[in-house]
Protein backbone atom coordinates (compact mmCIF):
# COMPACT_ATOMS: atom_id res chain seq x y z
CA UNK A 1 0.00 0.00 0.00
CA UNK A 2 1.23 3.48 -0.73
CA UNK A 3 0.46 4.86 2.74
CA UNK A 4 2.48 2.17 4.60
CA UNK A 5 -0.71 0.65 6.01
CA UNK A 6 -1.92 -2.90 5.43
CA UNK A 7 -4.70 -3.57 2.91
CA UNK A 8 -8.25 -2.94 4.08
CA UNK A 9 -9.03 -6.64 4.50
CA UNK A 10 -6.05 -7.04 6.83
CA UNK A 11 -7.17 -3.99 8.83
CA UNK A 12 -10.62 -5.56 9.23
CA UNK A 13 -9.02 -8.84 10.28
CA UNK A 14 -6.88 -7.07 12.90
CA UNK A 15 -10.01 -5.54 14.44
CA UNK A 16 -11.81 -8.90 14.30
CA UNK A 17 -8.87 -10.71 15.88
CA UNK A 18 -8.71 -8.13 18.70
CA UNK A 19 -12.43 -8.65 19.34
CA UNK A 20 -12.01 -12.43 19.36
CA UNK A 21 -9.20 -12.15 21.89
CA UNK A 22 -11.32 -9.97 24.16
CA UNK A 23 -14.16 -12.49 23.99
CA UNK A 24 -11.82 -15.42 24.68
CA UNK A 25 -10.30 -13.57 27.65
CA UNK A 26 -13.75 -12.78 29.03
CA UNK A 27 -14.86 -16.40 28.68
CA UNK A 28 -11.72 -17.57 30.49
CA UNK A 29 -12.48 -15.11 33.31
CA UNK A 30 -15.76 -16.91 33.98
CA UNK A 31 -14.11 -20.33 33.91
CA UNK A 32 -14.50 -21.38 30.27
CA UNK A 33 -10.81 -22.11 29.88
CA UNK A 34 -11.44 -25.33 27.99
CA UNK A 35 -12.60 -23.71 24.72
CA UNK A 36 -10.09 -23.21 21.95
CA UNK A 37 -10.32 -20.42 19.40
CA UNK A 38 -11.25 -22.95 16.70
CA UNK A 39 -14.06 -24.28 18.90
CA UNK A 40 -15.28 -20.76 19.67
CA UNK A 41 -15.36 -19.92 15.97
CA UNK A 42 -17.56 -22.96 15.39
CA UNK A 43 -19.81 -22.17 18.36
CA UNK A 44 -20.51 -18.66 17.11
CA UNK A 45 -21.91 -20.04 13.87
CA UNK A 46 -24.56 -22.17 15.50
CA UNK A 47 -28.02 -20.86 14.86
CA UNK A 48 -30.49 -20.70 17.74
CA UNK A 49 -32.23 -23.74 16.29
CA UNK A 50 -30.47 -27.10 15.84
CA UNK A 51 -28.59 -27.53 12.58
CA UNK A 52 -26.96 -30.26 10.53
CA UNK A 53 -23.24 -30.81 10.91
CA UNK A 54 -22.75 -30.36 7.17
CA UNK A 55 -24.37 -26.91 7.30
CA UNK A 56 -22.27 -25.95 10.30
CA UNK A 57 -19.08 -27.08 8.55
CA UNK A 58 -19.98 -25.12 5.42
CA UNK A 59 -20.70 -21.93 7.35
CA UNK A 60 -17.49 -22.29 9.36
CA UNK A 61 -15.50 -22.90 6.19
CA UNK A 62 -14.09 -26.22 7.38
CA UNK A 63 -14.42 -29.82 6.30
CA UNK A 64 -17.17 -31.99 7.71
CA UNK A 65 -14.48 -34.07 9.42
CA UNK A 66 -12.96 -31.00 11.10
CA UNK A 67 -16.38 -29.76 12.22
CA UNK A 68 -17.22 -33.26 13.48
CA UNK A 69 -14.06 -33.38 15.57
CA UNK A 70 -14.73 -29.95 17.05
CA UNK A 71 -18.35 -30.85 17.75
CA UNK A 72 -17.21 -34.07 19.47
CA UNK A 73 -14.88 -32.03 21.70
CA UNK A 74 -17.53 -29.42 22.49
CA UNK A 75 -20.12 -32.08 23.22
CA UNK A 76 -17.74 -33.88 25.58
CA UNK A 77 -17.10 -30.58 27.38
CA UNK A 78 -20.84 -29.94 27.76
CA UNK A 79 -21.20 -27.06 25.31
CA UNK A 80 -23.14 -28.84 22.56
CA UNK A 81 -25.76 -31.53 22.30
CA UNK A 82 -26.75 -33.77 19.44
CA UNK A 83 -30.49 -34.20 19.05
CA UNK A 84 -32.59 -36.29 16.66
CA UNK A 85 -33.48 -34.66 13.34
CA UNK A 86 -37.28 -34.63 13.19
CA UNK A 87 -37.19 -34.80 9.39
CA UNK A 88 -34.78 -37.77 9.22
CA UNK A 89 -34.85 -40.44 11.92
CA UNK A 90 -31.29 -41.53 11.11
CA UNK A 91 -29.73 -38.06 11.32
CA UNK A 92 -28.71 -35.95 14.31
CA UNK A 93 -28.64 -32.18 14.66
CA UNK A 94 -26.21 -30.08 16.66
CA UNK A 95 -27.49 -27.54 19.20
CA UNK A 96 -26.11 -25.43 22.01
CA UNK A 97 -26.38 -26.68 25.57
CA UNK A 98 -27.72 -24.36 28.25
CA UNK A 99 -24.12 -23.75 29.35
CA UNK A 100 -23.18 -22.67 25.82
CA UNK A 101 -26.23 -20.41 25.48
CA UNK A 102 -25.10 -18.57 28.62
CA UNK A 103 -21.54 -18.37 27.31
CA UNK A 104 -22.71 -17.03 23.94
CA UNK A 105 -24.71 -14.34 25.75
CA UNK A 106 -21.58 -13.39 27.70
CA UNK A 107 -19.60 -13.25 24.45
CA UNK A 108 -22.25 -11.04 22.85
CA UNK A 109 -22.09 -8.65 25.80
CA UNK A 110 -18.29 -8.44 25.46
CA UNK A 111 -18.64 -7.65 21.75
CA UNK A 112 -21.04 -4.84 22.74
CA UNK A 113 -18.40 -3.48 25.12
CA UNK A 114 -15.76 -3.56 22.37
CA UNK A 115 -18.07 -1.81 19.92
CA UNK A 116 -18.91 0.80 22.53
CA UNK A 117 -15.19 1.47 22.98
CA UNK A 118 -14.76 1.77 19.20
CA UNK A 119 -17.72 4.17 19.00
CA UNK A 120 -16.20 6.33 21.73
CA UNK A 121 -12.77 6.29 20.06
CA UNK A 122 -13.99 7.03 16.52
CA UNK A 123 -16.99 9.16 17.40
CA UNK A 124 -20.57 8.14 16.73
CA UNK A 125 -20.70 9.41 13.15
CA UNK A 126 -17.48 7.71 11.98
CA UNK A 127 -18.43 4.49 13.77
CA UNK A 128 -21.91 4.49 12.22
CA UNK A 129 -20.45 5.20 8.76
CA UNK A 130 -17.95 2.34 9.17
CA UNK A 131 -20.70 -0.04 10.27
CA UNK A 132 -23.01 1.00 7.43
CA UNK A 133 -20.22 0.46 4.89
CA UNK A 134 -19.44 -3.00 6.28
CA UNK A 135 -23.13 -3.93 6.25
CA UNK A 136 -23.28 -2.88 2.59
CA UNK A 137 -20.23 -5.02 1.79
CA UNK A 138 -22.09 -8.09 3.07
CA UNK A 139 -24.12 -7.99 -0.15
CA UNK A 140 -21.03 -9.00 -2.13
CA UNK A 141 -19.00 -10.86 0.51
CA UNK A 142 -21.31 -12.87 2.78
CA UNK A 143 -22.95 -15.96 1.27
CA UNK A 144 -24.92 -16.52 4.54
CA UNK A 145 -26.55 -13.08 4.91
Contact between residue 80 and residue 71 where contact means Cβ atoms under 8 Å apart: yes
pTM reported for the whole predicted model: 0.87
**C-alpha closest to that of 100 among 79, 85, 82:** 79
| pLDDT tens readout for residues 11-49 | 999 999 999 999 999 999 999 999 999 999 999 998 778
| pLDDT tens readout for residues 97-121 | 999 999 999 999 999 999 999 999 9
Alpha helices by DSSP H, listed for 30-123, are: 37-43, 53-60, 64-76, 98-122
Amino acid sequence: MTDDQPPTGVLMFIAHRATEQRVMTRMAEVGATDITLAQARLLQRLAPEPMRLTDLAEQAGVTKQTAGGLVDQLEAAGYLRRVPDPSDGRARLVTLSERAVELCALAAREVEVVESEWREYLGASRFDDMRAALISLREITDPYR
